[in-house]
């Protein structure tokens, strides 16, 4: 079953730009062969870490947004664990959150649309409800 995930990982700070690109492309290749489709990759740049990880106090953050099933994610995580320059990673499942957000947005839109159709009373009632 395909779900949407975000995989964020931290690469050691002393890795060169070209090596980093190479690492990202190889990881993407592994992910796609495992059955994932990558929707977006973002290099979030160098950041100070909130605490030391493997004796590094800085790190380069990379974010993958992908559509995958559990197996592909498992494989990608294994690769991340094995690959030496990656010092930390996290996988977050985003499909449920996305669904919830869509629902909330729809509800809000419906609420916004209602007042012009109704009279002033409806608006007044809403403003008191907001307080």
Instruction: Identify the residue among 71, 78, 93, 105 touching other proteins (CB under 8 A).
Output: 105
Cα 81 from Cα 84, distance rounded (Å): 8
Residue 10's beta-bridge partner residues? 61, 88
When the beta carbons of 121 and 130 are compared against other proteins, the nearer one is 130
When the beta carbons of 63 and 122 are compared against other proteins, the nearer one is 63
Pairing relation of β-strands 86-93 and 3-11? antiparallel
Site for other proteins in 13-52 (CB under 8 A): 47, 49-51
Instruction: Identify the residue among 35, 53, 69, 83 touching other proteins (CB under 8 A).
Output: 53
**What are phi and psi for residue 59, nearest 5 degrees?**
-165, 155
106 near other proteins, rule: CB under 8 A: no
SS3 of residue 85 by DSSP: coil
96 near other proteins, rule: CB under 8 A: no
Cα 76 from Cα 118, distance rounded (Å): 53
Interface with other proteins (CB under 8 A): 8, 10, 47, 49-51, 53, 59, 63, 88-90, 92, 97, 101, 104-105, 108
């Amino acid at each position: 079953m395909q779900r949407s995930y975000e995989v964020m990982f931290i690469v050691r700070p002393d890795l060169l730009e070209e090596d980093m690109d190479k690492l990202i492309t190889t990881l993407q290749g592994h992910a796609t062969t495992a059955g994932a489709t990558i929707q977006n990759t973002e290099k979030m740049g160098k950041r100070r870490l909130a605490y030391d990880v493997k004796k590094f106090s800085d790190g380069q953050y990379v974010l993958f947004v992908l559509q995958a099933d559990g197996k592909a994610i498992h494989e990608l995580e294994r690769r991340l664990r094995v690959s030496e320059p990656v010092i930390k990673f996290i996988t977050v499942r985003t499909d449920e959150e996305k669904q919830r957000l869509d629902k909330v947005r729809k509800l809000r839109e419906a609420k916004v649309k209602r007042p012009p159709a109704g009279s002033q009373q409806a608006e007044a009632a809403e403003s008191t409800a907001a307080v």
